[in-house]
Structures are given as C-alpha cells and as structure tokens.
Amino acid sequence: MDNGLRFSGKKALVTGSGTGIGREIALEFARQGADVVLHYAHSDSGAKSAVAEIEAMGRRATAFKADFGIVDEVVGLGEQAIEFLGGVDCLINNAGITFNKPFGEITQEQFDMIFHVNIRAQFFLTQRITKHMLEHGGGAVCNITSIHGVQGAPEHSAYAATKGAIIAYTRALAVELAHKGIRINAIAPGWVTVENYYKVIEGFSEESAAEVSKKKIPCGFPGEPIDIAKLAVFLCSDDARYIVGQTIVADGGTTTLMSLIDDFRNTSTAKFGTGYLPGV
C-alpha cells in the first residue's frame, strides 16, 4: 500500500538500536513507512519500547538479541531479520563499542573485542544481508562510523582504527556492488548527545553541553540522534540513488574547523595582506 511515505512497504534492519542513534534510526524508518527489526546486545528495554512505538504507528517490528563478538550470532541475526520481515531492503550497521586508553596500555583482548564488534561483525552481517539483496533486486546499506575515523584524538587509537576500517571497506564494497543494485554509504557523526554521556562524563548536563559546544562546534550546538537518523534514512532512499561509496560527515562543522584557530567566534586581529592587497 502506497500511503505517500518514502519507505512504505520497505523493510529495515537496524543494529545497536536499543539506545541512542540506533534507536532513533529505527523509529525514523518506521515513521517513513518501513517495517523494522531492531537489535540489542544486553538490555532489551530500549529496543522493546521502540518496538511498541513502531507497532503503534501501524508497522511491524520486533527486536532480537545478538552478541556481536560472535560471528554465528551476527549471521543468525541476519537470518532472523529476513525471516521475520520477509526480506531486508535496508541495513543500517550502527552497533559498536568504544573505550579510551593510552596506546601502550591496550591489551590484545581489548583490541580483539573492539575489532570483533565494530568491524568484523558489521562485515559479516553485511555479507549475509547483501547476499539476500542480490537475490531479491538490490537494496541499500548505511554504515555508522565516526569522525574518529578521519581525525585524531589521544587514547582512541584502537577505536579510531575500527572506524577508519569502516570508511575504507564502505568505499571498496560500494564500487563492487553498485552495478548490482546495492548502494553502500556511511555516516561519520561528530558529537551527538546520547545516554552514555550522562553515565561516563562527570557532571555532564544539557546546560554544560550547550556551553561547551558554543566554543567547540561551529554551528554552536551538539547533534541529536534524530540528526543522524534523518540522514541515514535519506541515504537509504531513492532520493540518494546517485550517492555511492561516500562517508558523510555530520558534525556541525567540527572537522571543518582548522585546529589552529583559537576562537572561531571572534573577528581576527591579525592583518595578513596589509601593504600588498588593495583595501586590507
């Protein structure tokens, strides 16, 4: 049934959708008419409450648990999603973990775990879902990476390595599958306020975030999950049919700002060009 919504009759699988960005992506797909499978790794409360919201919209939805450190469970999630939905038109690879630690203190176990969850799981889930897509007329994949994949931050070497890997494999796989009807792109979010900020950053509040972001982010405010959700839905839509293999940075201008600038809000007192450029 075509009710004018851009994803009416379509089916989406969104990983890591119990909280934050992933949950909002799942909800936005449903708002645009899609049936949705959500995924969670630990607590099911956020994913199941999202399922209830989606069902209230008149869409079909369910949530499945999978440990992304175990490839068999990752592939099993793909199988469950295909069976429940009757197919998958859009895959959004959002699930991921992070940690910060000095480079010299990172253990092999920590390294293996973050690579297994952030890139290995995404890789093999995409392999399973795109196999299905190839057999059923194509589809779209959106991988969620991070600005850590394009800029450096101390104590994030392992995390950044996984996010850079997502960008690289997105680009390579996109050119392999585009002519077969599958478009693959990625989003690199900057600062997007999610629940975890309140848990791990001492004294974090909306007020403190607003004050810091005025000084650090050119647009003057941190992102919200809906900002990434709308972009993910767009990239999976026919409106983005000519966008292939790209990583779209959504960060309010964070990576665009030259790091040597002290305060981008103030007019510079330096007078470069004086004496040889007219009017300077």
Query: Catalytic residues, which ones?
Result: 159
In the chain, the N- to C-terminal Cα span, in Å, equals: 63
What distance lies between CA 31 and its chain's CA centroid? 18
With tokens 């480079």, the residue in question is 103
Neighbours of 197 (CB within 10 A): 16
Whole-angstrom distance, CA of residue 47 vs CA of residue 69: 19
Residue type, 40: Y
Q: Which two tokens stand for residue 52?
A: 């209830």
**Of 106, 108, 187, 112, which Cα lies nearest the Cα of 145?**
187
Whole-angstrom distance, CA of residue 183 vs CA of residue 242: 9
**Of 172, 198, 197, 196, which Cα lies nearest the Cα of 186?**
172
Residue type, 73: E
